Structure 1
Amino acid sequence: MFNLDQLATLKAVVEDGTVASAAARLGYSPSAVSQQLARLESDARQVLMRKQGRNIVPTDAAHVLVRVAGEMASLEERARAELELLTYRVSGAITLGAFPTAVRGISVAAIAALHERHPGVTVTLRDAPPEPGLAGVARGDLDLALIHDWTEDHLQIPSGVVTSHLGTDPVDLVLPVGHRLAGQEIIDIADLDGENWVNDSPGICSRQLLQSLRDRALDYRISCVLDDYQSQVCATAYGLGLSLLPRLGREPLPDSVVAVPLVDPPTRRILIAYRRDSDQRPALQALVRELTAAWEGVAG
C-alpha cells in the first residue's frame, strides 16, 4: 500500500516544479523530500521523476500517482466531514487564508465569534493574497480562503473549488490634500490625465487600475509599486502619486490625504473559496456563517 505522506510529497513536487519549493511548502528539508520520493519510487517500482537539464519533470507514472493522491485527499475530506457530523458539537481544525484588508475587516472578528460559539473549533489564520489563497485551497494547504477579484475581472476558479459571494467593495481615490481635485465630492478617472500613480505588484490587485487608465486613453506613470495599503497612502501623502484604496478594513487616514469617491469606481468582489469535497464539514460551515455575519456587520 502506498504511503499517503509520500503521495502528498510527490504531488507537491509536481505542482511546485522543484524539490526545494515543495520542501518549503511542506515544511521539510529538501533531502527529506528526496528520500520520500525515493521510497515511493521503490514501492511503485517505476521511475517517477526524470532530470531534464537543471530541472526534474514527472513521468507518466508520477502523473498517475498524483491523480490518485488527489482522489485520496478528496476521500479523506469527505470522511472527515461525515465523522464531524456524528459528533454532538461542532469541532475540528480549520486553516483560513485571507488578504490583509479582509484580515482586518472581517476575519479576526469572525474567528473570535466562532471560538465563543463553538469552542471545539480551532482556526489557524494565514496571510494570503487572492491568487496564492485560491491556489492554497486547491492544493489543500488551506481549508478556506477569503479572496477578491473585480466585477469586471474575475479570477479563474480551479477545478474542485467553489466560491460563495459575500458582497462588493468599491475603492476610493486617495489624493494629497493639496491636489487640485482634493475638494471635489466625486471624481471621474477621466479627469486624471497625466498623473503619477501608486500601484500594487502585477496581479489581480493591480490590473483594474491599469485597465481603467488604458480604457480612457490617459497618460500615466506608475511611480511606486507597493503591496501594503498603508505604504501606498504614505507615498500619496508625500506627493509621489495617487492611489486607490478599498473601504473594507480601511484604517484611519492621515490628515495629509483625502479619500474621494469615484464615478463608476473599480469594485472588488469579496468571495469565500473552499473545496467542494469539504463543504459539508460542520466546522467549515460554522466559519462561513461567522464570516458572512462579520461581512454584513461592516457592509450594512
Structure 2
Amino acid sequence: MRDRIDEEITFRKLEVLLAYMETENLAKTAEALDVSTVSVHRALHSLEQGMRCALFRHEGRNLKPTDAARTLADVAKEVMALMSDGIRSTREAAGHSSDRLKIGSLYSLTIQTVPDVVIDIKRRRPALQVELVLGSNTELLERLKQGTIDAALMSLPKAEPEIESIPLFEDDIFFAAPAGSPYANQEAIDLRDCRHERFVSLSEGFVTYRGFVEAFRVAGFTPDVAMTVGDIFPLMNLVSGGLGYTLLPGRVRGFFGDKVQFIPLQSQYLMRQTIGLSFVRARERDPNILALMAVCRLSARRTR
C-alpha cells in the first residue's frame, strides 16, 4: 500500500517550488507568480512540513536547495506535466475546449444557416475542426443528452433542465405543391379543400412532421400519405415529381427553383417554427460553445 500524501503537499505549492528552483530568489519567484514573498516562503516551509524533511538550508537570508529539494523538483516537473495532460484529455473527452466541435443540424438548415455558421466559426477559431451531424429534432436532442454532439441547430425543444437553448429566427410553414398544380394561383390554402389529395411527409421525429399532423387535426381529417421519408430534400423531390403535396418550412423555398411552389396556409392553419442553438447547460462557458453562440447570433441578424 502506498504512503498517503500529506495534505500540505499541493499542486500550487509544487508550482511555487519549481519557480523558486529556477531563481533561488524569493522576490523574483514572488514576482513571477504574482504573489508576495511571504506567500512564497510560507509555501516552501509547508512543503517541508508535508515532506517531513529539510528541503532548504539557510545561508543568511537566502534559502539554498538541498539534494532533497532537487529530487522533489524533478518529480514535481513530471507530476505537473502529467496532470496538465490529464486535465486537457479529460476536458477533451467531455468536449470542453477541444480542437473539435460536433454540430448537429436539421437537414433543412444546410442550405444557408449551417454554411454561414461553419464559415464564421472557422474565421474565429481557424484551428477548430468542425464536424456536422444531421438528423431530426428528436435524434439531435437525444445526441445532445448523450454527449455525442456538442450543440445542435434545431427547432427549440420543450424546456428541459439540462438543455440550454437560444432562439435565432422564426420560420413559417407553407403548403408545398408541384409547379402548375391546381392550387398554384390561390392566395392561401384551406386544407379542407385538399381532403381528396395525396400527400407525402417527413417521418416521425421531425418538427415539420409534428406541424403536419397538427395542421390536419385542425382541418378535421387524416390525410392520405403515400410515402414518408427521413430527409427534407427527397421529400421535395417527391413533391416536384407529382407524387403528393406536403407542408414545408419557408427556409427551403427556392432550393428547387420553380419546381416546387410554396403557398401560404389560411390563418387557422398558420404554424411557425422557432429555430435556435441548443447545448448542454453545463457547457455554457465552454470557449467553443461561446464562439458558436456568437456566430449563430450574427448569422441570424444577417438573415432577418
Cα displacement string for residues 236-275 of structure 1 (whole angstroms, at most 9, x for unaligned residues): 2333211122122445325443221222332212121111
Distance, in Å, in 2 between the alignment partners of 1:233 and 1:128 is 17
Question: What is the aligned-residue RMSD (CA, Å)?
Answer: 2.7
Match of 2:112, SS state, is helix
Q: 1:174 to 1:108 in 2, by over 3 A?
A: same
Normalised TM-score (structure 1):
0.63
Residue equivalent to 2:260: 257
Gaps of 5+ in 2: 1-89
User: How many residues matched?
Assistant: 213
- The counterpart of 2:213, out of the listed 210, 213, 218, is 210
1:157 Cα deviation after fit: 4.6
Letter of the 1:244 partner, please give it.
L
Cα displacement string for residues 137-188 of structure 1 (whole angstroms, at most 9, x for unaligned residues): 1111111111115xxxxx4454421111112111221113343221112223
- The counterpart of 2:126, out of the listed 119, 136, 143, is 119
The higher-RCO structure (CA 8 Å, 6+ apart) is 1
The answer as to whether partners of 1:96 and 1:145 remain within 8 angstroms in 2 is yes
1:209 Cα deviation after fit: 1.0
1:234 equivalent in alignment to 2:241 = no
Residue pairs, 1:1-300, within 5 angstroms: 76=91, 92-148=99-155, 155-203=157-205, 204-218=207-221, 220-264=223-267, 265-298=270-303, 300=304
Letter of the 2:194 partner, please give it.
L
Distance, in Å, in 2 between the alignment partners of 1:182 and 1:206 is 23
Higher Cα radius of gyration: 2
* Runs of 4 or more consecutive aligned structure 1 residues displaced over 6 Å after TM superposition: none
Normalised TM-score (structure 2):
0.62
Letter of the 2:236 partner, please give it.
V
The answer as to whether partners of 2:172 and 2:272 remain within 8 angstroms in 1 is yes
**Matched residues, percent identical?**
22
Gaps of 5+ in 1: 1-74, 85-90, 150-154
